[in-house]
Amino acid sequence: METLTPKKETVSAPAVTTISGSKAVLEAFLAEGVDTVFGYPGGAIMPIYDALYDYNEKLKHILVRHEQGAIHAAQGFARASGRTGVVFATSGPGATNLVTGLADAMIDSTPVVCITGQVFAHLLGTDAFQETDVINITTPVTKWNYQVTDATEIPHVLAKAFYIAKSGRPGPVLVDITKNAQLQLFEYSGYQKCTHIRSYRPKPIVRKEYVEEAAALINKAEKPFVIFGQGVILGKAEKEFKQFIEKSGIPAAWTIMGMSAIPTDHPLAVGMLGMHGNYGPNVLTNECDVLIAVGMRFDDRVTGRLDKYAKQAKVIHLDIDPSEIDKNVKVDVPVWGDCKETLPLLTRLVEQKVYPQWLQKFKEYQQKEEEKVIQEELNPTTEILTMGEVIKTLNELTRGNAVIVTDVGQHQMVACRYAKYNQSRSNITSGGLGTMGYALPAAIGASYGAPDRTIVAIIGDGGFQMTLQELGTIMQFKPDVKLLILNNNFLGMVRQWQQLFHEKRYSFVDIQSPDFVQVAKGFGIPGKSISKREDLVTALEELLNSKGTFLLEVMVGKENNVFPMVPQGRGVAEIVLSKEEI
Amino acid sequence: MQTKKEYTITVYTENQVGLLNRIAIIFSRRKINIESLNTSPTEVDSVHRFTIVINEFEDVVRKLCRQIEKQVEVLKAYYNTEEEIVWQELALYKVPTDVIATEVKVERLLRQNGAHTVVIRKDYTVFAVAGHREETEALIKVLEPYGLIEFVRSARVAIIKGSSGFHERLKEFEHMEPGEEAIENEFLDKNEEIFTM
C-alpha cells in the first residue's frame, strides 16, 4: 500500500542523535513520564507502532477495541491519577472515533494527549485512503491541536501538547502527525519540556484586592454557602479547600464533578447540587446571602433557570478560567486564579466561625428528603430491588474506599446521590457531555491510573451496550475492574422524562439486552445476575472479592424514578420530591 | 434594555495555520454572523491581527472576546464601538469607460465621492474609494445608472484610537510572569476600561 518505505535504521547508525519522528514521539512520552498508552493501530500510524515495538519495556500499550474506548480509558486514567492520559489512533475513522471522547474531555476539563496518524503530507487534501481533516474536525473539541508534517517539529510540539493539556484549566490536545514525518529521520538534540508559551497564560495572576473583597463579604455574611466543582480536584487543592470551609465554618455542596473532593461525611458537607442533587443545597442556594463558587462553572444542570438562581445572594466566583467569570451567573467578586493559591489567601483573611442555625436548615431539608425519598430508595418496601439500595450495600462493603466510575443516566444520578467517598479522585463520570458508554472504558483506564484502588464501574443496561466491546480489552490485558450493571430494562432516564413530561408515551426506551453474564463469559469474564434482595450482599461481596474483573448484573425496578428533581426550566428552589409535585 | 450594536473586535495572535478557524467557530457555534473579517500583520514582526466586525449585545461581545482570548495562540482581544476606532474599508468599482468619457456628470460624481482611478482600459475603468460603509455604498447608488459592472468591498481595517501599539505589550507576554499590562483584560468588573485600552 505504501510507497515510501525508508531504510530501517541500522544498529550502527552514524550519529546517535539521528532518530525517526516516531521514535521522537516515544522519547517525548518517556520524558513526560508517560508509562501507559491506550490505542489502536492502523495504516497511517504504523511507523509509531513499529517504534513502539522496541519500547515494550518502558511503555505499556493497552490495545482497546474501538478508539472511543481508548480515549475514555485515557480520561479514566487521568481522572483517577491526576496525570495526563495518552492515546494513539490512526487517521480517518480512527481519529473520528476519538471525537466523542475529545468533546467529553473538553467539557469536563480532562488532560488528554491524543496522537493521530495522518496520511503522507503530499496526499493531504486529495481524499487519500483514510484521510480526514482531523484538525478541523477536532478544533471545537480540543484545547489545542496541531498538525505535524515535518519530524523536526515533533519534540517541541509534543512538549507544547503536554504542557497545554495539563496546565491551567486542563483539556484535551490532539497532535496529528503525517506518515512521512513519523518515518523521517532527523537530528535529535534531546527533549525539552515546555514551561511557557507567550500567548498562553494558564493561570491568571491572583488579584489581592479581590481576595480581600471576597473575605470582607464572607466575614459579613450570615448565611454563606460554598458550592464547589472539579476545580478543587484539578487544582489538587483538596486540603486547601477543607481548611477554608473548616475555618470559615461554611456549609459546602458539590457539583457532580466536584464530588469526592471532600469526604461525603464531612460535617460541613451538605450534599450534591443540581437537577438530581439534594433538596437542601438546591433550595438554600436561593436563601443564602453570599454564594461562594469554587472551581465550578454554573452548568445549567446545576443552576436550573438562571433568572431564578441565587438572585438574593452576592456571588463570589473562584476560577482559573477568566472566561467562566460572568459567563452564566453575574459575579460580584471574581477571584480568578488557581484555587490552590487563592483558597489559602482567602482562608487567611476569613474569620473563624460557625453557623449552627444555618447548618441546621440544611439538616431540616435533609430530613424532609430522607422521609420522602431516601428512606424508600435505600430501604424499599417493594419486592423488587432499587438502585439506591445496591449503592447503599456497596458503600457498606467498600466503606467509601472504592473509585466509582459511572456511565450516564438514572444509575449515574443514583450512584452520585448515594455513594460514599472518603478520598479525592474517587468519582469518575461523564458530567458535562453525558456520554453513555463512558464507564466501561473509563474504568479500565482508571484501573491503570489507580492500580492500588478498587475500581467499581456502575453502568446501566443501555450504556453498557454502547461500548461493551471493551470487554475484549479486559479479556486481553486483565485489568481488575468490578462491573456492576444496574438493569431496569429501560433507557431509564429518558423513560422517566417521558413519564413525567410526555404523558408516558414510552417512545423507544424499552431496550432489550443480551444475557450480560453470557456475554461476559464469552470474553472469559466471570459473572452473575441477581434480582433478589437476599442475594445482594453475597453477590456484591463476590464482585468485590473476585480476583480480577467480575460482572454483576442486578435487576432493579423497571419504572423507578430519580428524585428529587429540578424540572427543566424551573428554578433550583422549585425542586420537587415526587412526581405528584411536578 | 440593551440593544445590538456594531462592535469591532481586534485580536492579536501568533501566526498559525488553523487559528482563523478556531476564532471563526467561536462565532458560528453561537450562530453569530461575522459582518467582516480581516487578517493582517502588525507593527510587531511575528504578531498577527484579526479585525472582526459583528452586530451584537455588548454582553455577548464581551463573552466572545473572553472565549477568543482563551485560545492558546491568542495574545489579546479587544472590542470597541465605532466611536473608539478609526476605520476604513476599501471598495473597487468597475464602470464602462465610454460612459465616463462621455458623461461629464460621472466624472464630477466620482470626484465628489473621493474616488480615484486604479486602471483605465478601453472597455472599462476601475475606481477605488476608501472610507466608511455609507461612503462606499453611496457610490454604488451613484454609479448604478451608469452601468456599474462590478463592485467589491474589503473587510474593515481599524485602529483603536487609544492604543499605543503592541511592542511594549508583547514584551510583557514574553515574560514568564506577565505584568499587569498583559492581564488587564481580567479586570472584568471594570468593563469599560478593559477592552477600550
Picking from A200, A201, A323, the nearest residue to B67 by CB comes out as A323
B20 and B104 in a common domain: no
Cell for A62? Answer: 493497552
The number of residues in chain A equals: 582
Q: Categorize the per-residue pLDDT at A194 as very low, low, confident or very high, splitting at 50, 70 and 90.
A: very high
Among A185, A100, A90, smallest CA distance to A137 is for A100
Same domain, B75 and B107: no
CA distance A521 to A124: 44
Nearest CA in chain B to A139: B22
A300 lies in the same domain as A384: no
Counting the structural domains of chain B, the total is 2
Q: Do A171 and A71 fall into the same domain?
A: yes
Which of A139, A154, A187 is the endpoint of a domain?
Answer: A187
Same-domain check for residues A123 and A220: no
Q: CA A524, CA A549: separation in Å to the nearest integer?
A: 10
Q: Answer whether residue A201 is part of any domain.
A: no
Verify that B57 and B28 share a domain, yes or no.
Answer: yes
Which residues of chain B does A135 touch, with a Cβ-Cβ cutoff of 8 Å? 18
Nearest to B29 by CA among A434, A103, A231, A161: A103
Same domain for B121 and B37: no
pLDDT number for residue A16:
61
Host domain of residue B29? 5-85+157-195
DSSP letter at A56 equals: T
Write the pLDDT tens digit of every residue in A28-68.
Answer: 999 999 999 999 999 999 999 999 999 999 999 999 999 99
Question: Do A432 and A314 fall within a single domain?
Answer: no
Residues A487 and A400 in one domain: yes
Pick from A198, A207, A306, A324 the residue to mutate for testing the B interface (most B CBs within 10 Å).
A198
Residue for grid cell 459592472: B149
User: Do residue A524 and residue A414 come from a single domain?
Assistant: yes
Residue B191: what pLDDT? 39
Q: Quick check: is A493 catalytic? A: yes
A interface test, pick of B72, B74, B167, B191 with most A CB neighbours within 10 Å: B72
- Kindly determine whether residue B25 and residue A323, on different chains, have CB atoms separated by under 8 Å: no
Q: Do both A405 and A544 map to the same domain?
A: yes
Does B73 sit within 8 Å of A205, measured CB to CB? no
Identity of the residue in A135, A139, A322 whose CB atom sits nearest the CB atom of B186: A322
List all residues 6 or more positions away from A85 whose beta carbon is below 8 Å from its beta carbon: A38, A71, A73, A74, A75, A76, A77, A78, A110, A111, A112, A113, A445, A449
User: Are residue A143 and residue A224 in the same domain, yes or no?
Assistant: no
Within this chain, do residues B165 and B138 fall inside the same structural domain, yes or no?
no
CATH code for the domain in which residue B69 is found: 3.30.70.260
CATH code of A518's domain: 3.40.50.970
CB-based burial of residue A404 (10 Å sphere; 0-12 exposed, 13-18 middle, 19+ buried)?
buried
User: Do A402 and A318 have their domain in common?
Assistant: no
Q: Both B81 and B93 in a single domain?
A: no
A201 and B CB contact within 8 Å:
yes
Q: Which of A262, A194, A177, A141 is nearest to A31 (CA)?
A: A194
The share of chain B scoring above pLDDT 70, in percent, equals 88
Note whether B149 and B161 are same-domain residues.
no
Do residue B120 and residue B52 come from a single domain? no
CA distance between the termini of chain B: 26
Catalytic residue among A58, A129, A311, A568: A129
Q: What is the pTM of this model?
A: 0.94
Whether A195 maps to a domain, the answer reads no
Contact A204 B75 (CB under 8 A): no
Final residue belonging to a domain, choices A296, A331, A361: A361
The rounded distance, in Å, linking the Cα atoms of A302 and A253 is 11
Task: Judge whether A350 lies within some domain.
Answer: yes
Examine residue A455 and state whether it is found in any structural domain, yes or no.
yes
**What's residue B185's pLDDT?**
43
* Interacting residues of A8 by C-beta distance below 8 A, sequence separation 6+: none
Torsional sign, CA A52, A53, A57, A61 = positive
B38 and B110 belong to one structural domain: no
**Catalytic-residue membership of A363:** no
Judge if the upstream peptide bond of residue A451 is cis by omega within 30 degrees of 0: no
Q: Mind telling me how many Å the CA of A124 is from chain B's nearest CA?
A: 14
Domain with A46, as residue range(s), is: 18-187
B29-39, pLDDT tens digit by residue? 999 999 999 99
Total beta-carbon pairs less than 8 A apart between chain A and chain B: 67
Distance in angstroms (rounded) separating the CA atoms of residues A7 and B166? 49
Does one domain contain both B76 and B166?
yes
With 90 as the cut, is the pLDDT of residue A11 above it?
no
Structure confidence by residue, pLDDT tens digits, A65-90: 999 999 999 999 999 999 999 999 99
Residue A373 within any structural domain of the chain: no
Are both A259 and A120 inside the same structural domain?
A: no
CA pair distance B62, B81, nearest whole angstrom: 12
Question: Looking at A187, A216, A246, which one is the last position of a domain?
Answer: A187
Question: What's the full length of chain B, in residues?
Answer: 197
Asked if B19 and B77 sit in the same domain, the reply is yes
Query: Are A69 and A95 part of one and the same domain?
Result: yes
* Pair (B47, B80) in one structural domain: yes
What is the domain count for chain A?
A: 3
Å from A354 to nearest chain B CA? 31
Quick check: B188 and A204 CB within 8 A? no
Q: Is residue A12 part of a domain?
A: no
**What's B130's domain CATH number?**
3.30.70.1150
A366 is catalytic: no
DSSP string, A462-480: HHHTTSGGGHHHHHHH---
CATH value at residue A306: 3.40.50.1220
Coil, helix or strand at residue A429: strand
A308 and A448 share one domain: no
Q: Which residues contact A32 (CB under 8 A, 6 or more apart)?
A: A84, A158, A162, A193
Q: Which residue has the cell 453570599?
A: A290
Q: Which of B63, B177, B189 sits opposite A334 (nearest CB)?
A: B189
Contact A327 B182 (CB under 8 A): no
pLDDT attached to residue B167: 83
Catalytic site residue A184?
A: no
Could you report the per-residue pLDDT of B150-165, keeping only the tens digit for each?
A: 999 999 999 999 888 8
Q: Which residue in chain B has the smallest CA separation from A330? A: B189
